[in-house]
Amino acid sequence: MERAERTWHITKSRLAIILSQLRQFSSPKLLAEQYTTDSETAAGTLWLAYMNGDIEGKVIADFGCGTGILGIGCLLLGAKKVYFIDNDEAAISIAAANLNKIRGICKFSGKAELLCSDIGEFSKKADVVFQNPPFGTKARHADREFLLRAFQTADVVYSFHKSSTEMFVRALCRDGGFAITHKVSYDMPLKRTQAFHKRDVHRIGVALYRMERHLGKRMKAGVTKLQVSQTL
């Protein structure tokens, strides 16, 4: 595949700094479970994908893109094209503003396409899907819908889920013909965004899974487990 050209050098720490400058939700929607992925978690995830050859020169779909932090990180790491998909107009507007801001800071040649749409309406193919979907605590099975659509879209999927749902994720992955190749555990910080939140920062156990379509000998045996503890 044709490789996208990056005209500047970036490191993992530099990536985290740049992503920390992005605009976040000002009035997140509770039922949509709109929580911004923090910059350290995003940078760690993207760097893992980059080192696995899953970003540079690739076509990426960022499902439920929110403010665009994962998709923008992919562009900074040399993605050929990124689809930003979210059914919330306000989220797409923020993602667009963040893209314009980053273009004024860094140079990259990858293309971006923003789509205000349900992920179920997305029918294009990509090399890799990145997603931090709703965990299904407000809308039951919302995470299932994201996983099924991701499996239809790409051969490699990076997806965040609550650690307590691991058995569900593994079963759906197996039934979909995918193998989990990497699991990274995060103590993810969620900042106070609702009136009923009692703490400035609440941490929840979250796992990032890298999943790859089972294609005979391409299936990777076992799981690489990394434990990551984040601090503000």
Q: Which of 35-39, 80-84, 214-218 has the highest mean pLDDT?
A: 80-84
For residue range 78-102, what is the model confidence (pLDDT) as tens digits? 999 999 999 999 899 999 999 999 9
Measured CA to CA, the distance from residue 53 to residue 56 in angstroms comes to 7
Percentage of the chain beyond pLDDT 70 is 75
Q: Give a three-class secondary structure readout of 83-137.
A: EEEECCHHHHHHHHHHHHHHHCCCCECCEEEEEECCHHHCCCCCCEEEECCCCCC
Residue 23: inside a domain:
yes
Judge contact between 108 and 75, C-beta under 8 A: yes
pLDDT band of 214, cuts 50, 70, 90? confident
The pTM of this model reads 0.83
Q: Are 187 and 205 in contact (CB under 8 A)?
A: yes
Of 32-36, 41-45, 199-203, give the range with the top mean pLDDT: 41-45
Residue 140's pLDDT band (cuts 50, 70, 90)? low
Instruction: Note whether residue 69 is domain-resident.
Output: yes
Q: Note whether residue 168 is domain-resident.
A: yes
pLDDT at 34 over 60: no
pLDDT for the residue numbered 205:
81
CATH code at position 20: 3.40.50.150
pLDDT of amino acid 36: 74
Q: Do residues 71 and 145 lie in contact, with contact meaning Cβ atoms separated by under 8 Å?
A: no
Please indicate, yes or no, if residue 217 is contained in any of the structural domains: no
Q: What's the average model confidence in pLDDT over 191-204?
A: 53
The percentage of residues in the chain with a pLDDT greater than 90, rounded to a whole number, is 61
Q: Is the pLDDT of residue 191 over 60?
A: no
Range of the domain at 154: 12-177
Q: What does the pLDDT look like over 100-116, one tens digit per residue?
A: 999 988 889 999 999 99
* Tokens, residue 181: 């190749």
Tell me the three state secondary structure of residue 203: strand
* Average pLDDT rounded to a whole number, residues 41-65: 96
Instruction: Output the pLDDT for position 37.
Output: 80
- The dihedral sign for the CA sequence 141, 145, 146, 150: positive
Asked, for residue 182, whether it belongs to a domain, the answer is no
Q: What is the mean pLDDT of residues 153-174?
A: 94
The whole-number average pLDDT for the span 188-209 is 64
At residue 216, does pLDDT exceed 70?
no
How many secondary structure helices (H) and strands (E) does the chain include? 6, 8
Q: Is residue 89 part of a domain?
A: yes
Tokens linked to 124: 């294009």
Q: How many domains does the chain have?
A: 1
Residue 79 located in a structural domain: yes
Residue 232 within any structural domain of the chain = no
Residue 101: is it exposed, middle or buried by C-beta count within 10 angstroms (0-12/13-18/19+)?
A: middle
